[in-house]
């Protein structure tokens, strides 16, 4: 249901030696720094510094906010600026300038974010009150309009945390304090015993209140597209966990890369007696966009069955109403320039042939608008059994539900939790919704349970995803209670926002010139 990622902690060590001066712990600007074999107060200072470095390292690991490039740049340039230790006005000015530039970069890095385009490249920009402003215009790539790219309080909090961490580390280096605060050794020693540790504790606490969700310049990660799958053996175990928990409907696709693992899991579940036979599970797979041609459908289905190790599918979908230039259905890479006209009639005739051959008990479509469904029904001899679409409390699909009910087409919902912010098809409109939070609090349920229950009450099949055994079981606990009329009325007031706008398939020279055209005005 949710995906998590780990940051990278970087430990900083200072090899500089403390120095002594006969009249003062720190020399005046006219003094030079002699090399001493036994620095005064060195053991205590080094012990404190090591503790600070470890604390800050763990903090950066926890919050994933430290612009490491800035800190490394500072550490590399400082020896050149400091030279032989002559704290002249020029040296002091250069240190101040270096500190200022690095502090500004730490601050502004946290007002950047990124997204991964359909070409696989990552594009960066500044977050603003109006959304993401990419650094370079004229890229030929549509910039996401998600709310997550609007600047907010969290960005300012993380910017300040980053500055505090940088200052704490920089000022723990005696070369900085030596020139900036001559003659204040004792006071600085007292401060540096507690200040960096205090910064680490405060920042760790603030992160719990203001978690980071940016993938900007200087952050230790880049914008994701789809969550990556675990190794196949681990994925097999996850599927078996789901079967043990009670799941019987499994939705896969050639594009997901999970067919082989699912087939292995079903076979092992039969061997272990978790289910009696293949007939105890309902398996859905999908035809990828490179295969949406009359002559390519049957071979693609046979490849899916071979990966699954099965003789038939319970349901076979057309994944998108899109045709892309020929390629592999296992090497999925969406490039909008590769989108070509989609032969709906010919592709559906081949889908019907798959059904007649007994290779697919039912056939359906995914992500078809009401307009495209109407077009399909005009020439289909076997109507689609299912239309699988994005549906959740923030995209209720009321028109689609009414249309499909009239035509006898079942609806199933993908991303019923809004995909929790995944770029291009996800947002936070479900998991961070205040209405759902309020209902969940009073019901003593989780937000996902409330969101899934609402979809279930619309008569729609719910397609949830989780690699976590506890959340798998939690997702099933939606069948023995109902939302009240008052709660449903509140949900009806939630603003609507489609997660996937269709940018991946839009191109000035392609069949779809705009998201509105892709969805036939049903945005």
Tell me how far apart the alpha carbons of residues 54 and 60 are, in angstroms, rounded to a whole number.
10
Q: Is 258 helix (H, G, I), strand (E, B) or coil?
A: coil
CB-based burial, 159-189: b 16+ in 10 Å, e otherwise: bebbbbbbbbbbbbbbbbbbbbebeebeebe
Residues, the chain: 523
- Longest CA–CA span in the chain (Å) reads 98
Q: Which string of DSSP letters, residue by residue, matches 57-103?
A: HHHHHHH----HHHHHHHHHHHHHHHTTT---HHHHHHHHHHHHHHH
- DSSP strand pairing (339-340 vs 363-366): unpaired
Asked if residue 62 has pLDDT above 50, the reply is no
Average pLDDT over residues 391-420: 92
At residue 371, the pLDDT reads 96
CB 17 within 8 A of CB 42: yes
Nearest-5° Cα angle at 317, 288 to 387: 125
Q: Please, which pLDDT band fits residue 219 given cuts at 50, 70 and 90?
A: low
Asked if residue 23 has pLDDT above 70, the reply is no
Nearest-5° Cα angle at 230, 224 to 236: 145
CA dihedral over 119, 120, 123, 128, signed as positive or negative: positive
Q: Which two tokens stand for residue 15?
A: 């090899």
Q: 130: how many CB neighbours lie within 10 A of its CB?
A: 10
Q: Please, which pLDDT band fits residue 422 given cuts at 50, 70 and 90?
A: low
At residue 10, the pLDDT reads 28
Condensed to tens digits (0 to 9), the pLDDT of residues 452-486 reads 999 999 999 999 888 888 989 999 999 999 999 99
Q: Please, which pLDDT band fits residue 160 given cuts at 50, 70 and 90?
A: confident
Asked if residue 222 has pLDDT above 60, the reply is no
**Backbone dihedral angles phi then psi of residue 98, each to the nearest 5 degrees:** -65, -45
CB 400 within 8 A of CB 387: yes
Asked if residue 29 has pLDDT above 50, the reply is no
CB 129 within 8 A of CB 120: no
Asked if residue 152 has pLDDT above 50, the reply is yes
480 exposed, middle or buried (CB, 10 Å; 0-12, 13-18, 19+)? exposed
Asked if residue 206 has pLDDT above 90, the reply is no
Q: Which string of DSSP letters, residue by residue, matches 313-336?
A: BSEEEE--S-EE-S--TTS----G
CB-based burial, 261-289: b 16+ in 10 Å, e otherwise: bbbbbbeebbeeeebeebeebbbbbbbbb
Q: Please, which pLDDT band fits residue 1 given cuts at 50, 70 and 90?
A: very low
Q: Please, which pLDDT band fits residue 142 given cuts at 50, 70 and 90?
A: low
Q: Please, which pLDDT band fits residue 165 given cuts at 50, 70 and 90?
A: confident
Locate the DSSP E strands across 347-398: 363-366, 386-390
Give catalytic status of residue 26 as yes or no: no
**Residue of 184, 159, 137 whose CA lies nearest to 25:** 184
Which residue among 123, 256, 316, 512 is the active-site one?
Answer: 256
Average pLDDT for the chain: 78
Q: Which two tokens stand for residue 201?
A: 């504790």
Asked if residue 239 has pLDDT above 90, the reply is yes
At residue 327, the pLDDT reads 62
């Amino acid at each position: 249901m949710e995906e998590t990622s780990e940051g990278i902690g970087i430990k900083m060590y200072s090899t500089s030696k403390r120095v002594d001066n006969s009249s003062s712990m720190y020399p005046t600007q006219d003094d030079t720094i002699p090399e001493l074999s036994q620095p005064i107060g060195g053991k205590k200072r080094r012990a404190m510094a090591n503790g600070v470095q470890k604390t800050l390292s763990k903090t950066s690991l926890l919050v994933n906010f430290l612009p490491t490039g800035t800190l490394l740049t500072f550490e590399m340039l400082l020896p050149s600026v400091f030279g032989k230790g002559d704290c002249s006005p020029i040296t002091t000015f250069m240190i101040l300038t270096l500190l200022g530039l690095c502090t500004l970069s730490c601050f502004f890095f946290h007002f950047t974010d990124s997204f991964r385009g359909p070409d696989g490249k990552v594009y960066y920009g500044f977050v603003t009150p109006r959304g993401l402003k990419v650094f370079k215009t004229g890229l030929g790539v549509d910039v996401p309009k998600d709310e997550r790219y609007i600047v907010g309080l969290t960005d300012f909090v993380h910017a300040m945390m980053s500055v505090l961490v940088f200052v704490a580390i920089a000022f723990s280096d005696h070369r900085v304090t030596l020139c900036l605060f001559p003659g204040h050794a004792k006071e600085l020693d007292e401060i540096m015993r507690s200040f960096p540790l205090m910064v680490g504790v405060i920042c760790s606490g603030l992160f719990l209140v203001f978690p980071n969700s940016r993938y900007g310049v200087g952050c230790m990660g880049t914008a994701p597209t789809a969550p990556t799958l675990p190794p196949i053996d681990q994925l097999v175990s996850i599927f078996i966990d789901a079967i043990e928990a009670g799941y019987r409907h499994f939705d896969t696709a050639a594009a997901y890369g999970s067919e082989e693992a699912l087939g292995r899991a079903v076979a092992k579940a039969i061997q272990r007696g978790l289910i009696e036979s293949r007939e105890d599970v309902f398996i859905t797979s999908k035809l990828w966009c490179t295969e949406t041609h009359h002559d390519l459908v049957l071979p693609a289905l046979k490849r899916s069955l071979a990966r699954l190790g099965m003789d038939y599918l319970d349901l076979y979908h057309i994944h998108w109403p899109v045709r892309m230039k020929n390629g592999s259905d296992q090497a999925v890479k969406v490039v909008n320039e590769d989108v070509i006209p989609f032969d709906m009639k010919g592709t559906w005739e081949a889908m019907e042939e798959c059904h007649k051959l007994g290779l697919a008990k039912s056939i359906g479509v995914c992500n078809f608008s009401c307009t495209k469904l109407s077009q399909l029904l005009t020439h289909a001899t076997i109507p689609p059994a299912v239309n699988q679409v994005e549906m959740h409390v923030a995209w209720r699909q009321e028109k689609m539900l009414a249309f499909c009910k009239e035509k006898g087409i079942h609806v199933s919902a993908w991303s019923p939790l809004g995909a929790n912010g995944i770029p291009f098809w996800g947002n936070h409109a479900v998991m961070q919704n205040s209405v759902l939070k309020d209902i969940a609090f009073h019901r003593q349920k989780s937000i996902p349970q409330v969101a899934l229950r609402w979809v279930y009450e619309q008569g729609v099949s719910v397609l949830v995803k989780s690699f976590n055994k506890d959340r798998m079981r939690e997702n099933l606990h939606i069948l023995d209670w109902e939302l009240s009329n008052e709660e449903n009325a509140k949900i009806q007031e939630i603003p609507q926002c489609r997660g996937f706008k269709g940018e991946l398939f839009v191109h000035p020279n392609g069949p779809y010139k705009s998201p509105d055209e892709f969805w036939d005005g049903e945005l």
